[in-house]
Structures are given as structure tokens and as C-alpha cells.
Amino acid sequence: MRRIAICVAMLLTASAYASPATLVYDGGGGQTAVQDAMTTLGILFDLRGPGNPVTAGDLTTHNLLVIGWNLGGDMSGLPPSVLAGGITGNILLTGHDADYHTVHGADSGTGGDAVQAAATRFLSQAISFAQGGSGTGLVALADASTAFSYLPPEWGISATGGLLKEDVDFFTAEGLASGVYSGLTAADMSNWIQSYHVSFDTWGSLAPFEVGGMLQSDMVTIGGAVIPAPGALVLGSIGAGLIGWLRRRRTL
């Protein structure tokens, strides 16, 4: 019986490691490139979409969710309540469609190779940042059609979509400290022939990482760690207190 238990445990462990740690959501629509971008970066992933929604279980078996650039796609497979309960690590939300530019470079004109290199570096470092938190992280790329409306309302994030902006003015101190822009300048993130499509109006507990719009103070990219809602903190404190009380009773 003990040998059987050990074998079952080994099989479960092997299957856990065999499954990719990254989950990718592709909403379809025009210019979808997130799957090709992940392949370019050499990242294995499990795929979700409107017909195969992200579940609470998914967010316990993967340490990262990457949501691709959405131009008229279907984001209904991203239930806000599931994201609120399952995203417990670092978050990076950006108005850049870095997955598209990682694959295609600039849409037109010259400098396509430089744009592709910048987008690839940015996306790779954004993923590293989100994976660096203590929990399941999130990278969500420009959601022009619905302006990130699928995000949990308790996160306090609102955005304006449908933008066709080119210029990034500067990175904030928090953005530079994150490592997301290592080896990049504001000029590298500009002039992608439609560099960013969303700017953030409110960002809850997250911090502005990148400011653009020719000094119009568009918040292009925001990031940070999830801070649980006050109710969750209270419940957590009650749970910790109950566990402590039970432990003390056991020792009496």
C-alpha cells in the first residue's frame, strides 16, 4: 500500500511539472498574435479562450496568466470573480500590443526590426516581473475594444481604449525599479506605428510604470502586487486567529 501511495505521488508530481506553468488567453479578433509571441519567446503554454474560459482551478495550477492584445476579440472567457480570487501575485497591465509587435515589428514604414526587438524585450521582461511575485501573476496587453472592462471591479482600475498613440515620455521610478524596462528607453517604446491603444484613468493599488502622450500624462503601463480587498484581509485575520487558537488548545 505504501509503494502504491508513493507511485501515485510521483505520478502527480510528474504530471504537475509536465503541464506548462503559463496560461494564455486568446480572445481572437483582428491582429491576434499572443500565441505566436509566446512561441517566439520559447514559452510553453496552455491555451484558453471564449469557448474554454479561465477557471479558478487554472489559476491554482499555473503561475502566470497572459492575456493577449484584443482588437474586437471576445473576452467573455475571463470571469472577473475568477481573476479576483486567483490572481494573487504581480500584475502588469499595458496599453501596448507588445505581442503583435514581437511577431510583426512595426506595422509599416522603417525601423521594424528595432520595434520588434523593443517589443520582444519588453514583453519578456513584463512576464519575468509578473512571475516574480509570490502567487499567480498576470500580464494583460492592450485591450482596445473593451478597455480592460473584464478586470474585477474591486481592483479599482479603469481605462480609456481605442487610442492610436505613439509617444512615451518617461518611465516612473517604480517602473524602472521593476526591471520591466531594463535595456530600454522611452524612445524604444515609441513610434511603433501605433505604439499604444489604452491609457489608464485609475489604477487602484497598482503604480504607474510608464507615462506617454506627449506630456498629456497618459498612464500607458501600470503594475505592482495584488492587495486583497479589505473583506479578504479581515477573513484572513480571522482564519489565522482560529488556526492559532486551535494549535494552542492542542498543546494544552
What is the model's pLDDT at position 17? Answer: 39
Residue 99 is predicted with a pLDDT of 97
Q: Which amino acid would we find at residue 44?
A: L
State the pLDDT at residue 145: 87
Report the distance separating Cα 60 and Cα 95, nearest Å. Answer: 27
Q: Classify strands 22-25 and 64-67 as parallel, antiparallel or unpaired.
A: parallel
| Separation of alpha carbons 78 and 56, rounded Å | 10
List alpha helices for 150-211, DSSP H: 173-178
Cell of 10: 510521483
Write out the residue range of the structural domain in which residue 237 sits. Answer: 2-251
Which pLDDT score is estimated for 247?
34
Give Cα separations from 183 to 108, 117, 166, 193 (angstroms).
24, 11, 20, 21
Round to whole Å and give the CA distance between 164 and 166: 7
pLDDT at 228: 62
pLDDT for the residue numbered 226: 77
Count: domains in the chain:
1
Average pLDDT of adjacent 10-residue blocks, the chain of 252 residues: 36 44 94 94 97 98 96 95 97 97 78 91 98 95 93 97 94 98 98 95 97 87 81 38 34 42
